[in-house]
Amino acid sequence: MSEKWKEYVQQLQEQNKISKSLKKNADLVLKNIFLFNNEYAMEPTQVSYYMKKITWQKTPNGDPEWLYMLKRQEYLNDLLATYYETKEIKYQTKMKSLIFEWIKKNIDYPDTWRTLDTGIRLLNWTNAIANLSEEHKLTEKENELLKQSVQIQAEYLKNNYIEKYDISNWGILITTGILVFASAFPGIIAQDIVEWAEERFRVELELQVDSNGMQWEQSPLYLVEVLRSSLAVVASYQHADLKIPSTVTVKCQKMQCMLENYVKPNGKLLQQGDTDAMHIDSLMSTSALLLDLPLKNKNIKTKYDFMLIELWHKKFETKKIVSRTSNHDFGANSAGNYFWRSSWEKDADFWHIFNENLGSGHGHAELGHIDLVINGKDILVDPGRYTYVDGIERRYLKGATAHNTIMLNDTPFSKPKNSWKYEYVSTPINTQQIKFNDGILTRISYIDTGSNNAVVVRNFLSLPKSHLYVVIDQIFSDTCKGCVRSFWQVNPDFNIQKCSGGYNLEDKFKILSTASEIWSCEGLFSKKYNNLSHLTRIETKTPLNNFVSQYTVISTSNLKEIHKVKPIQSGTQKEANEKLANGLTISFTNGDDYLITTQPTNTIKGRKLYWYNDIETYGTLNVFKLKNGKILDFYQVM
């Protein structure tokens, strides 16, 4: 099987179904040059470092994460894949030497280990040692040394496992390393440790991964890592003809579905929490293969994850992508993530809104944050993570001003304390989603801890036929006076120009606001860990006196202007108090107009009807579509 399997992998490589970066990285590793930029590297680097002799306990760039990446030894799979591709023994020889060098320089110094990296290392050793064993490249003495080192690491993982790992990606990366290695080499890791790992893995999946498939830490990147590690168990168990627990299969299926929604029209993973803008095509294609599930996202290319298929070691048929023709919205209610897209094509409109607990230290201060894509182009973005080293950049990118959120009285609703902790956080209250013929209203609310428990309600109105997206922010408080500021992180590739009421974005899109002041400034942007650049942040400011209703409108360049409307209460000639009723007119260059009316609080004195110019309304939120002043459609949304 070994030679036939290698030939099969070579065919996949020739068909570009396995990443070309594996060989590039393997060639660097041959020379002791390390660049951790593989597609699933958790803390990738953009700068390569040469080590004449590998200094396993000293980082060359001051970032401890670099050493952790070095010790995980993910590059072993790169060397193995390149050995298959080129048939050159030097790659296999280097792979073997790096395993034994790690043992020589690290096995007696467990105080320099971490449980996370140890679990990942056992996973990465599995394919490499299986190949060396199959091809009889290990002496009896080397086999014994490997056996002892694996046993020491497995015992270390069990003995240093703490309760909090049950709800951390660390737990899953620890237990899956044990299970994958044990399935390939039964009898090396003690049976009681294997049984312990199986039980912990089950508990971890049940606690961490909710019914929608989201991992509680609120980071798509770490959801990727959890799914990938879980699929490694699926692949290795299938290869070894071991029974896969139903919990594992069901949770993996849920995670695949969740991640499909996180892939934007440009094919990259949406950045949320500690996440990079990355392609996950090979993971998703391999997941569909192992779980026997169709893929629905056309922006996922057919590629395969070498580490996973090498564990599986079976020939397979390419999975076809099955397009969705029905609804394109997905509400992960338990995780507070809501998605919608006009189609699964590259030129689709797409949005995501978040309103839930921030999860672990990988979560960012982003209650009410909105990501928006129009015609396949990123409009509003999340600026990423950049680094885990505590400092100004780390805290800024985790903070509220780096997200598409609002702030009351210059006090953030949640405030990072350092790289992993918060001084305080705000509490989400509720999210509603209402669908009507022409669109969707997503209404979120939270209690702003930073501003004396003011209640913030954000209404996100999606009218995709007109590529029209309206954000209505309403602040309720008996004591909150000062100002409300909003922040909009714009696609870093865009040039923006000031216009009446807002900004033109690349002359193709427009963002307008009813705020008293609007301006632009520079913000940080990080598409990848260890990569830092800048974007334009649009900010607004409006006076706040216990209540305010503020509108932001985003659309194509056909958007002409917006105007706030002060309605007249029926039976009077007086303008209504804004807290009782207010509205907005939206005009387009082609004569299409919209009127949006809101009644934020109950009217308990006088008539409950309100006149917006010549239009009589009642209801919490109404949408009128007009053509040259005449009503074409009317939706009483709430």
Residue pLDDT, tens place only, 523-574: 999 999 999 999 999 999 999 999 999 999 999 999 999 999 999 999 898 8
Mean pLDDT calculated for residue range 355-377:
94
pLDDT, position 321: 60
pLDDT, position 194: 98
pLDDT, position 151: 98
pLDDT, position 322: 63
Mean pLDDT calculated for residue range 364-391:
96
In sequence order, which residues have a C-beta less than 8 Å from that of residue 152 and are 6 or more positions away? 107, 110
Q: Is the pLDDT of residue 329 over 80?
A: no
The answer to whether the CB of 328 falls within 8 A of the CB of 301 is no
Closest CA to 45 of 82, 70, 26: 70
pLDDT, position 199: 97
Confidence of residue 316 (pLDDT cuts 50, 70, 90): confident
pLDDT, position 249: 96
Q: What 3-state DSSP class applies to 210?
A: coil
Average pLDDT, the chain: 93
Q: Is the pLDDT of residue 441 over 70?
A: yes
* pLDDT cut 90: percent of the chain above it: 83
Q: Which domain holds residue 423?
A: 337-557
Between 606 and 149, where is the model more confident?
Answer: 149
pLDDT, position 295: 86
* pLDDT cut 70: percent of the chain above it: 98
Q: Is the pLDDT of residue 116 over 60?
A: yes
380 and 528 share one domain: yes
Across the chain, which distance is largest between two alpha carbons, in Å? 96
Mean pLDDT calculated for residue range 133-149:
97
The answer to whether the CB of 551 falls within 8 A of the CB of 514 is yes
Q: Is the pLDDT of residue 110 over 70?
A: yes
The total number of residues shown for the chain amounts to 638
Is 56 inside any structural domain?
yes
H or E segment at 219?
none
544 and 579 share one domain: no
Is 298 inside any structural domain?
no
Q: Is the pLDDT of residue 591 over 90?
A: no
Among 65, 91, 109, the domain-final residue is 109
Q: Which of 278-282, 500-504, 631-635 has the lowest mean pLDDT?
A: 631-635
pLDDT, position 582: 95
Is 406 inside any structural domain?
yes
Count of helix runs (H) and strand runs (E) in the chain: 14, 27
Q: Is the pLDDT of residue 317 over 80?
A: no
Confidence of residue 126 (pLDDT cuts 50, 70, 90): very high
Q: Is the pLDDT of residue 516 over 60?
A: yes
Is 429 inside any structural domain?
yes
Predicted structure pTM score: 0.94
Strand partners, 486: 406, 540
Confidence of residue 299 (pLDDT cuts 50, 70, 90): confident
347 and 437 share one domain: yes
Mean pLDDT calculated for residue range 232-240:
97
> Number of folded domains in the chain?
3
516 and 569 share one domain: no
Mean pLDDT calculated for residue range 362-366:
95
Is 360 inside any structural domain?
yes
535 and 592 share one domain: no
Q: Is the pLDDT of residue 621 over 90?
A: yes
Is 75 inside any structural domain?
yes
pLDDT, position 323: 54
Q: What 3-state DSSP class applies to 486?
A: strand
Q: Which of 178-182, 264-268, 340-344 has the lowest mean pLDDT?
A: 340-344
Mean pLDDT calculated for residue range 66-90:
96
Q: Is the pLDDT of residue 326 over 60?
A: no
Distance CA 273, CA 335 (A): 13
Distance CA 601, CA 574 (A): 18
Among 557, 578, 604, the domain-final residue is 557
16 and 43 share one domain: yes
434 and 482 share one domain: yes
605 and 456 share one domain: no
499 and 360 share one domain: yes
Is 515 inside any structural domain?
yes
Q: Is the pLDDT of residue 1 over 70?
A: no
pLDDT, position 327: 54
497 and 426 share one domain: yes
Is 240 inside any structural domain?
no
425 and 544 share one domain: yes
564 and 523 share one domain: no
pLDDT, position 63: 86
Q: What 3-state DSSP class applies to 437?
A: coil
Q: Which of 330-344, 461-475, 485-499 has the lowest mean pLDDT?
A: 330-344
Among 85, 109, 133, the domain-final residue is 109
